[in-house]
């Protein structure tokens, strides 16, 4: 089990947003968890805004601003959203067990939407690039009203 689980969802969200989270706790899985928390709490549109802003600030605060990638960030949130829409999980731990592809096959999931490598593209780092192979799910307001249908 990853170390970010030592924090409750509220603690994890607060520490990330106030930049007090230890950078070693912000793994790929923790990034997915942050998306899951924000989507469920604020809805998809606000989650994209929140996470894009917070990850950029977190990266800058820790001297890693070159690593920030707008397209990967937004694509990750939208990918988590896709699986939330199909999920019956009540917490992130259940969710990641239900959809391990998010953790283990993430690059392949993203690559199914893009013909270019958004992980290395300078344009993708600076601005969100819409997918050119397969669109993401339609953004439907607050996911809490649709996630368990």
Mean model confidence pLDDT for the chain:
91
| 130 C-beta neighbours (distance < 10 Å), count | 11
Q: Give tens-digit pLDDT for 2-36.
A: 888 999 999 999 999 999 999 999 999 999 999 99
How many separate domains does the chain show? 1
- Is a pLDDT exceeding 90 seen at residue 136? no
Domain range spanning residue 42?
3-145
- What angle do the packed helices 28-42 and 9-17 form, to 10 degrees? 100
- Is a pLDDT exceeding 60 seen at residue 144? no
Q: Give tens-digit pLDDT for 103-114.
A: 999 999 999 999
């Amino acid at each position: 089990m990853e170390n970010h689980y030592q924090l409750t969802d509220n603690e994890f969200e607060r520490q990330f947003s106030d930049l007090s989270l230890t950078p070693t706790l912000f793994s790929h899985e923790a990034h997915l968890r942050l998306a899951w928390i924000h989507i469920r709490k604020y809805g998809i549109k606000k989650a994209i805004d929140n996470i894009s802003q917070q990850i950029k600030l977190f990266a800058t605060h820790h001297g890693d601003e070159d690593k920030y990638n707008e397209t990967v960030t937004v694509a990750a949130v939208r990918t988590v959203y896709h699986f939330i829409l199909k999920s019956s999980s009540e917490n992130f731990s259940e969710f990641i067990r239900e959809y391990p592809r998010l953790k283990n096959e993430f690059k392949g999931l993203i690559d199914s939407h893009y013909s270019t490598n958004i992980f290395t593209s300078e344009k993708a780092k600076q601005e969100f690039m819409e997918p050119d192979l397969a669109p993401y799910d339609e953004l439907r307001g607050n996911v809490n009203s649709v996630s368990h249908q």
